[in-house]
Amino acid sequence: MSPTPAPVPFIDGLRDIDSVRLAGSGHAWLDTARRENLEAFIAAGLPDTRAEAWKYTALRALGQRRFTHGDPGAPTRNVDPKELVLPGVDGPRLVFVNGAFRADLSRLEALPAGLTLQPLSMVLSKDPEPLRFALSRHYRETSDAFARLNAALAGDGVVLRVAPGTRVGKPVQLCFVGTPAEGDLAWHLRNVIELGEGAELDLVEHHVSNIAHKHLGTVVTDIVVHDGARLQHALLQNAAEESTLIRRGSLHLGAKAHAALHVLELGGALVRHDLHAELRGDEARLDTRGVFVLRGRQHVDTQLSIRHQALNTASESTWRGVADERAHGVFRGAIVVAQGADGSDANLSNKNLLLSGLAEIDTKPELEIYADEVKAAHGATIGQLDERALFYLRSRGLPYAEARALLTAAFCRSVFASLPNESLREHFSEALLAHLP
């Protein structure tokens, strides 16, 4: 006696979607990959909380909304260029508004030698063949439901390549802007980033909204860091308060490659961030650091998975979470040391502050170890601000709210201490303070 499933407007809205014209359509392999991914997404439906990967993030409310995919008005939407400026970030810039590339807001003139930076839409309309491998991928895990949707519907994004041995002097900025549009809008972006052997890149990813909206955005980013290359990746997510943002990142590190990631999540009503990192080459090293600071009814779900599969690899992860008011923070940090990955050194720390009786934090650090010459440790805590520290500050005349904000900021700020770009680091701190209630 299987009950007839309740109609899900989200899914129904996808059934008549083939009218959408996406960049690159007409290439048989791309059309097939898109169609198959869409069919698979529709067939599976939105994952529910019975799926382990979505245990703490319910998508029922999202399922009740019917979205228009792609914003035809995107090229002419008004965006204040000042919104896009980040201190200490003055290099090349690629800007997407509501999921579409905007040449007028981007800064692509005089790219340094060895750097290729193009919108995906342009690459697809010329010669999509080099991207065939990346774009015809099939996602099968339930955690990747939205990656399927993205594979089916993304027509734009970033294609960034750094030639082997090139050191890109100035930070490259990727801006993803949301701005009001007619109807319930969903947009999808696909980024492909590759650092050749021994290349160096400073990357700043910026999600920003100037005016309130309720869009759904999905961003799938594949990053490959080849042997001996170095990547600094800073991510500031300051999307509109009521927007939904679902990001999936994959990061592959070659031998002696090094990647450092700093994430600050502030905006969004429902935010999901999956990062799948694989240390594929010997002596690869990955540092991930991140903070989410939530208030109101925000829901942020960070899913980190780090896989050590080569000799003498190291990963260090430091994540902090703050949930106030009625917010809900979720963190999962899984470390896998595969068989034969001897000499791996993996460390993960996740500390959380629960500041209100209506907020909730769920955390799940995981270790899966299949090799014996390893050092792996994780620690996680959930607690509140130190009463004595609060008292100390108040006894020196600081109002309660200010003392609380100060201590909370201090709790988070340590995560960014290792961000080399000083002006950007300052900006992260300010954005954090401004977001605290």
Partner 1 sequence: MTIENDSPAVLRDNAEVAAALGRRYEAGFITDIETDSLPPGLSEDIVRQLSALKGEPEWMTEWRLKAYRHWLTMPTPHWAKLNIAPIDFQAISYYASPKNRPKSLDEVDPKLLEAYDKLGVPLHERAKLAGVAVDAVFDSVSVGTTFRKELAEVGVIFCSMSEAIREYPELVQKYLGSVVPTGDNYFAALNSAVFSDGSFVFIPKGVRCPMELSTYFRINAGHTGQFERTLIIAEEGAQVSYLEGCTAPMRDENQLHAAVVELVALEKANIKYSTVQNWYPGDEEGRGGIYNFVTKRGDCRGDDSKISWTQVETGSAITWKYPSCVLRGDRSVGEFYSVALTHHRQQADTGTKMIHIGKGTKSKIVSKGISAGRSSNSYRGLVKVEKGADGARNYTQCDSLLIGKKCGAHTFPYMEVKNPSAIVEHEATTSKISDDQLFYCRARGISEEDAVSMIVDGFCKQVFRELPMEFAVEAKKLLEISLEGAVG
CB of 281 to partner 1, least distance (A): 21
Question: Whose Cβ is closer to partner 1: residue 129's or residue 386's?
Answer: 386
Q: In angstroms, rounded to a whole number, what is the distance separating the alpha carbons of residues 87 and 237? A: 15
CB of 80 to partner 1, least distance (A): 38
Question: Whose Cβ is closer to partner 1: residue 287's or residue 342's?
Answer: 342
Paired strand residues for 354: 323
Question: Whose Cβ is closer to partner 1: residue 370's or residue 392's?
Answer: 370
Question: Whose Cβ is closer to partner 1: residue 218's or residue 408's?
Answer: 408
Question: Whose Cβ is closer to partner 1: residue 134's or residue 371's?
Answer: 371
CB of 310 to partner 1, least distance (A): 15
Question: Whose Cβ is closer to partner 1: residue 58's or residue 369's?
Answer: 369
CB of 137 to partner 1, least distance (A): 26
Question: Whose Cβ is closer to partner 1: residue 117's or residue 385's?
Answer: 385
Residues that bind partner 1 (CB under 8 A): 52, 56, 339-340, 352, 354-357, 359-384
CB of 359 to partner 1, least distance (A): 7
Question: Whose Cβ is closer to partner 1: residue 69's or residue 320's?
Answer: 320
SS3 letters across the chain? CCCCCCCCHHHHHHHCHHHCCCCCCCCHHHHHHHHHHHHHHHHHCCCCCCCHHHCCCCCHHHHCCCCEECCCCHHHCCCCHHHHCECCECCCEEEEECCEECCCCCECCCCCCCEEEEEHHHHHHHCCHHHHHHHCCCCCCHHHHHHHHHHHHCCECEEEEECCCCECCCCEEEEEEECCCCCCEEEEEEEEEEECCCCEEEEEEEEEECCCCCCEEEEEEEEEECCCCEEEEEEEEECCCCCEEEEEEEEEECCCCEEEEEEEECCCCEEEEEEEEEECCCCCEEEEEEEEEECCCCEEEEEEEEEECCCCCEEEEEEEEEECCCCEEEEEEEEEECCCCCCCEEEEEEEEEECCCCCEEEEEEEEEECCCCCEEEEEEEEECCCHHHHHHHHHCCCCHHHHHHHHHHHHHHHHHCCCCCHHHHHHHHHHHHHHCC
CB of 35 to partner 1, least distance (A): 31
CB of 345 to partner 1, least distance (A): 11
CB of 111 to partner 1, least distance (A): 45
